Each structure stands twice: as C-alpha cells, then as structure tokens.
Chain A
Amino acid sequence: MEQKTVVKVNENNYETALISKSLKQALLDLKIISGKTMDLNIMEVEISEHKCAVVSIEGMASTSAMAELIYRPLMEFRVKGYATEDDVFKFLTKQSLLSAERKILTTYGEVFLTLFSGFAVVFIDGCDKCVAYGIQGFDKRSIEEPTSDGNLNGAHEGFIETIRTNISLIRRRLKTPKLRFDMQQIGSDSKTDVCVAYITDKAPQGVIDKVKENLNKINLDTIITTGYVEPFLQGKHKSLFSNVLSTDRPDAFCAKLNEGRVGILVDGVPLALICPSLFIENFQTIDDYVNKPFYTTYIRWIKYIAFFLAIALPGLCVAIATNHPEILTHKFLMNLAASEEVTPYSFFFEAVIITIMYELMREAGIRLPKAIGGAVSIVGALIIGDAAVSSSLVSAPLLIVIGLTATASFVIPNLNPQTSIFRMLFILAGGFAGLFGITLCFAFMLINISALENYGVPYNAPISPFTFRAMRDVVTRPSFLKLGRSKTIVEDLNGAKKI
C-alpha cells in the first residue's frame, strides 16, 4: 500500500497504474499524465453530497448526450442521508442505464483509452474504480457514395472513417452469427482500433490465425492509414503487386467475406482490407454481379484488354516501330513513317516524354482541388493534344497510343501504380531491345506475380494453378443460378497445397 503512494504516476507508467482512491489524487494524476492538455474536461460534482467528477475529452463526447444522460440522472440521484462511495458506485453500475455502453475501469491506461474513444468517465471519491459511459459525439462524416470504386447499379453506401459505423454496415448485410469481428488496438501511441472480420465456417482457420498473428507483429507507434497495416499482411515477398485488396464498398467486402476471405477494418480510414486476394479480382466490380452475365463477360474481356493496353501498348509500339516494323501492315507503317518524318526526336524518346507528361498531368489533376484540376486537364489537352502535334514536336499516332493507354489505365484503377511502373519499363525495354526486351520484362512481371503467395493462395490463381470451377468467373460471369450451386471459396484456389 505504501509502495503505491510512493511511486508517482506519470505519462510513462500510467498504463497499468491503478486509479487512486482519492478523487483529488486521481484528478491530479489525470492532469499529470495528460500534461494538463486543454481538451481534458473535468467537472467536479456532488452526487447525493458525495464528491465525484465527470471527465471527458472536448469534442469527443456529445455535450447534449452528456447533459441528458449523465448530468441529469446524477443530479437527481438521492439517498437518505449521506451517500457512501459504494452507494454511488452501485447506482452508477447497477441501478441506472445511463447509456448503451458502460465499462468499469480500474487503471489509468483504461481510463485514457476510453476517454480518447469519446467516453465520459465518472470518478467517485473513495472508490478505486471508475465508470465510463459511451456517449461519443465527435463529428464524423455521414455515409456517402464511395469515391474510388464507383458503380451504377449496386449500393451507394461507402465505408466511412468510423470503424463502428463500418462494422454496422457489414453486419446489416450479413445477419449471421457466424460473422465475427475481433477487435484489437494496434499502435503503441495511437491505439488504433483494428478489426478482423470473417465468417467462421467459410474462412480457413489457418488464414484467420495467420492474419491475427501478422497484426500482432505490428510494432508501429501509430496506424494512420491502411497502408501502415498492409505490408505486415503481405508477408516477406517483395512484389510490385499487392495481394491485399482494399475496398471502400461494404457490399464488395461482404461478398469477399462470403468467399472465405478475412477482412481487416482500421479505425479512421474509409477503406477495408481483404486478404488473401487474387490478381484477377482487380478486374471484378460489384456491377458485374448486377448486370446480365453476357454483358459482364464482354466487359470483363474489355478490362483484360485494357490492362494489356495500359501496360504494354506504348512499349509494344516503340518496340515494333524501332525494331520490328515488318509486323505492321504496310499502310500503317507508311503513315507512321510519314508522321515521324517531321518530328525532331526518335519515336522512343517521344514515347518516354509523353508518358512522363501524362503522369505529370494525372498527378496534378488528383492533388489539386477539383476546380483547378479541370484547368489542368484543359492545359494538358491544349499542350499535348494540339500544340505538340501542330508544331511537329510529337507525332499524332504516338499521341493516340498514349491517349488510349491512359484511358485504358482508368478502367482498372486498383492496378494503377503497377501499370504506371510497368508501362515505363516496357517502353524502355521495347526501345532498347524490341520485342526481346518486352518479353523479358513480361517474364520478370510473370515471375513477380507468380511468386506472390499469401495465406496459401497463389496470387495468380485460378489461372495458374488452373482451377476450372473458379475460371468460370474469370473467363465469363456465370449466372447466380450456377454460382449458387457450386461456389468457389478461397480454399479451392490453393493449387496443390493445403492451407
């Protein structure tokens, strides 16, 4: 007992320190730990003539809820004569329902964690426990339409920054008790809520355990975005591609959980991660399962072509024009040669410059405010589209190629970083070594993708290793009449191995 009074609580040892029985000391400890931060609100009150304090963080707890759910009931509490600390504690914990969420806290660590999560904590003089009420009232974004993964016919709800709202969005779509959410705090300073979601009888236990194990390995101070978590989920293989899919759509998230994947939600980020994910999933959208199968099949093939164009078209054009002109039809070649006749640089160099200019414009368009972003597009169109050709700095066919490539890359937004890098690599390889260079680059890409495997599932499944049943949803889009009967879950895609 003596020892406890001797060791002073400070910001370094507060986590496991027990709450002081003396209200005065407890409040002092809070101030010391928080460094008298201005947003710590302490309201000292007397409940039935017993000293208490209500502590909250400014802006995190709802003031109206606090007045309505905490202050008023507390003020109305009366016992005959002088109330002891046990009377007050009993009232707070057993005789009243002040909010939907109530926790009994014993350490300062728990106190601060709940305070920073928007709880109001009631301290009672003479009691070494305090009671926290969930009356979160911080401002949050309302549910809006997803921005990065737009669709026409599916739901228009997207994830928001608040993890609990996101959980409710998922739970609303999967009303099965087999859907589990395992919450944990990650980040030694940020204590960010990270939630692992899965359906027990669909997700392989090995994958669930591995995901949790990987999350426990995170030793970062803060978790601000999903990008902080992703590398730990990906494993050690250094690949240019990512086998962790991110989505801002609860419906897509639920569909993936239903296929036996494990989802990860991070508080403060309007995105959810799904693992393991497949390369081919970058081409699938929720609209695919709304439209008629024949149309979806057609659009899927368009997307595959778009990926090929986005990655390889400029490189192939450079390779063919520089090293293999015999491939082109005669008139095409004539037009190309005639267009190149007046330009000052080689076709290869032009392709490099135009590609860099395109990336420049794209990046400027994303970062700038929307109003100015439009102006960037106009400037880009004017400079590249018209002036460059009319002043014979760039040949028109090349401009068409880069324009087509840019449009194609917008079709698969998930793979945009990879397409940008490989596009440039292919141009360089094509310019220097023709189709030989392109093929070696492709071989490198192929191996890079093929070596990627996580949680026992190869990234390029079900193409290689080939899984016929799953390939139906790659080559075509089977009707739900068929999909319902024989659905492919993640365990079917693991090739020769057992997860």
Chain B
Amino acid sequence: MRMKRNRVCLKKLLIIPVCVLFIFSLSSCNATGKYEKRDIDEKIIVHALGIDMTKEGKFEVTLQMLVQQGSGSNTPIDPSKSNSATVSQVAETIPAAIEQCETDLGKKAFLGHSELILLGKSVTDLNPILDYFINAEGISLGTFMAYTDITAKEILNIKVTSGTYSAEVLKEIFEESQKNGTSTECELIRHIDNIENTNGTTVMPIIKKIKNDKKSSNEKEDASSDIKFGETESDKSKNKSGNEEVGGGSSGSESSSQSEGGGSGGEESGSGGGSSEEAEVTAFYIDGAVIVKDKKPKSVMSRDEVIGLSFLNNGVAEQTIDAKMGDTLTSVSAASVKKQTGVSMKNDRIVIDVNLTIAYEFNKTFSDKEQKEVGQKAAERIHSLCQEAIDKALKEDNADIFEIHSLLNHNDYSVYEEYKKNPEEILKRVDINVSINPQI
C-alpha cells in the first residue's frame, strides 16, 4: 500500500517540466529591468556604428538604424527609399554614448546585425574601441571595421540612391574592393588577430564619399595624401570651407541626430537636421588604408600601395593592371594564384623571399609573343606596386602588415622569439624580395 502511494507521489513529479514552463511564464511576465523581453520592433536594429572623437577626447557614437519606409509600397520595406536614419550622442565612453542614444529613442540598441564599424578621422586610439567591441554583446566577429577620411557621422548620414540602406552598400563596396585588392581585409576578428600577433599593428581601409559636382576621378586618386589622421572634428571644420554641417558638438551633453528618407524619422530626438550637402553625394569608394601601429593610426597608404599589399598577401581575385607597350597603353586582368615564401638569414639581415604566381587574363587578342611581353610589363607593374607597399609600410613605418610574424613563427622560431620581445628591432632587419611568376 505504501509502495503504491510512493509510486503515485513520484508519478506526480512528472509535472515538473510543466512547472518549469510555468515558472518561465511567471518570471517573464514579471520580468523587468535586465531580463525584460523586448519585441523586435522595440529594438533599434543598428546597421552600422560610427565612432568619432571630440576635441575633449570624448566619444561621439553614431548609430545608423532601420527606419521603415513602406508607405506606398506593397512590402513593409520600400527598397526604392532609404530605410535608415542615424542618431548620435557624445559621452565619455562608447557604451555610455550608445546608452544615451537608446534613451533618446526609447528603445534598446541591437548590435547583433551591425555590418560596419566606421572610425572617423579623429579617432587616435583604438584601444578603448577594440576593448569595447571584443566584449560587446552580440557584435559579430565578421563585422567590418574601417576608417574614413572625414567623420564617421558624415558618412553614415549619407543617403544612398541604391540598396535598401547605406551600410549594405558600404559593405558591398568593401567586399568588392577586397576582391580587386583595393581594400585590405577589414573584419573585426582579423584586426584583433593582427593586433594580438604584432603588438598592435593592423591596416584598415579608408572609405570616402564621391561628390559628383566637385571632384573628378583623377582628383579622387590624390585625395588620400592630404589626410592627417588624429584630427578632431573641430580641427577639421576649421580647415573646411563651404557650408558643410558637421554633426556632433564639443559638449558632452549635446546631441545631434539626423534623419533620412522623408518624415518617418520623426521618432528620433535631439536637435540638428539633415545637411544640404548629402543630396549631392551618390556613392562611396575605398581609397587607401590606414596603418595602425601600437593601436594608433600612424600613416596612410595610397591606393597603389594597398594593391601591392593585397598582391603580397595573396588576396587579389581580379585587378586590372596597366601595361604600356610602346606608345599604346593596354590592360590585363591579374589575379593572385599562389604565394610561396622563404625565410633566410644573410649578414644579420632577415630575408623573406616572396614568390607570387599571378594569373593574367587579356582583354583583347594578342599573339604569344605579345602576351609574354604584356605579361612581363604587368609583372613589372605588380612588382613595383608590391615594392611601394614594402617601402611604405616596412621601410618607412616599420609596421608588420605582411604576416612577417607568421612567417618567422613557421620558419625560424628563434628569430620569432626575438620578434616577440622586440618587434621594432627585428622589422628593421627584414628585407622582402618579391619575384613575380606570371601565368598566362
């Protein structure tokens, strides 16, 4: 009898899983604060984050977020309109600035879908930024991180004429540029990886905006040389002429937000409004890269140098190379096929031999002889591009952006140990010899 009663009692324990669900429901219904469930429309879906520094050394964070533009369309999102808006806030730290943005909008920021982290020209120290993003909840390791030659806020405020939102367009530009070698790898995890391995060195592409009526394509090419990274927003605005309105003030409490795409940005708070300049902008382009050393921007690489770097790192899927044959200028499509490296010591110098196999695709019909000649010319051009990159990064800036640490680690461990102790000294002793093996 007792056993039977025991069994009945134990069978009742089967209710436990049901009770668990009940507890969930109770806890969730009463949940407030940290565990409060927020519906998807109660979150700010952040497409991109922009970070600028103010003169006072504060962070100005710009969030580019989704704003529905479905009116007049069959779908909730109207692809013919810009579906994004931005909100900016200035604070001592990045999380504090994001929190202020959240307070302004009355919603919680959801960073899990951020596709881009854009650093303004004024950002001089990556340490707090990387610290934040390594530990930030939800940030994907595949998020792109890049520099801009102006403020991140300006870039994120730009209204795009194609695509659903500008971060999407920006990401596509980065991806396409990586394929043709005009941009380096810019995923967050790759930056962290490089910085961990090289005591704070990495290279970040620079994104710029095209102004249709002001600059020709030739002017774009030279633009990077004028940039001086580390300028704060206020310094820059002094140098600027015209009526450019720059978001983000010098005061910590000041907020500025801009909306895109008609009246549906009305939910945002703060002062400030859309700039008249944005209407002129139609697109972005990648031009050069910033060499970051000791987690600080050190110098700017030109577009050609970046292409050379991409070839050296075996990362070019297709890049058109000009080759001059006599008086005529012709072009071939070059792609990285294989990279062979060797490390040797010669008279206290560390010599890294890089043998690049490059495949060519000709744009017009050539004879075999002509093909060889064009190939040779193109190889010379690629060699010079690589050399430019080496001269700039290694000779000038003494920066390891050529995976030297990895090569030393795999080929000569004793030198690698020295590198870990004193990378500057080792890098000064490194020579990189590039040879191109054309594959026609």
Contacts and interface: CB of A to CB of B under 8 A. Distances in A.
Tell whether A and B belong to one assembly: yes
B138 A326 contact: yes
Contact of B24 (A331, A337, A346, A432): A432
Given A330-B115, A333-B45, A325 B110 contact: yes
Contacts of B168: 330
Given A326-B140, A346-B39, A337 B45 contact: yes
Given A322-B37, A346-B39, A334 B164 contact: yes
Interface stretch (B68-76, B148-156, B231-239, B316-324): B68-76
A471 B168 CA distance: 46
A333 B113 contact: yes
B432 interface: no
Name the residue in B40, B43, B115 with the highest tally of chain A Cβ atoms < 10 Å from its Cβ.
B40
B113 A338 contact: no
B66 interface: yes
A347 B168 CA distance: 26
Interface in A382-409: 396
Contacts of B77: 331, 334-335, 338
A347 B24 CA distance: 17
B81 to A, nearest CB: 12
B39 A322 contact: yes
A9 B374 CA distance: 119
Interface stretch (B13-21, B51-59, B215-223, B240-248): B13-21
Interface in A328-364: 330-331, 333-341, 343, 346-348
A173 interface: no
User: Chain A's interface: helix, strand, loop or mixed, by majority?
Assistant: helix
A322 B40 contact: yes
B68 A325 contact: no
Interface size class of B (residues with CB under 8 A): 20 to 34
B337 to A, nearest CB: 33
B20 A440 contact: yes
A46 B77 CA distance: 94
A52 interface: no
Given A432-B21, A432-B28, A437-B24, A341 B41 contact: yes
Interface in B298-314: none
Interface in B138-181: 138, 140, 164-165, 168
B169 to A, nearest CB: 13
Contacts of A432: 21, 24-25, 27-28, 37
Interface string A298-341: 00000000000000000000000111011000110111111111
Contacts of A341: 41, 68, 76
Contacts of A410: none
Given A330-B168, A334-B45, A340 B39 contact: yes
Contacts of B138: 326
Contacts of A325: 40, 43, 45, 110, 112-113
A104 interface: no
B257 interface: no
B11 interface: yes
B83 interface: yes
Nearest to A321: B40
A440 B18 CA distance: 11
Name the residue in A331, A334, A340, A444 with the highest tally of chain B Cβ atoms < 10 Å from its Cβ.
A334
A346 B265 CA distance: 22
Interface string A368-390: 00000000000000000000000
A340 B41 contact: yes
10 contacts: A325-B112, A326-B113, A335-B76, A338-B66, A347-B40, A348-B39, A428-B24, A429-B24, A431-B37, A432-B28
Closest 9 CB pairs of A and B: A326-B112, A338-B76, A432-B24, A340-B41, A338-B68, A432-B28, A346-B39, A444-B17, A339-B76
Interface of B: 11, 14, 17, 20-21, 24-25, 27-28, 37-41, 43, 45, 47, 66, 68, 70, 75-77, 83, 110, 112-113, 115, 138, 140, 164-165, 168
Given A334-B77, A428-B21, 9 more contacts: A321-B39, A325-B45, A331-B77, A338-B70, A340-B41, A348-B39, A429-B21, A440-B17, A440-B20
Interface of A: 238, 321-323, 325-326, 330-331, 333-341, 343, 346-348, 396, 425, 428-429, 431-433, 437, 440-441, 444
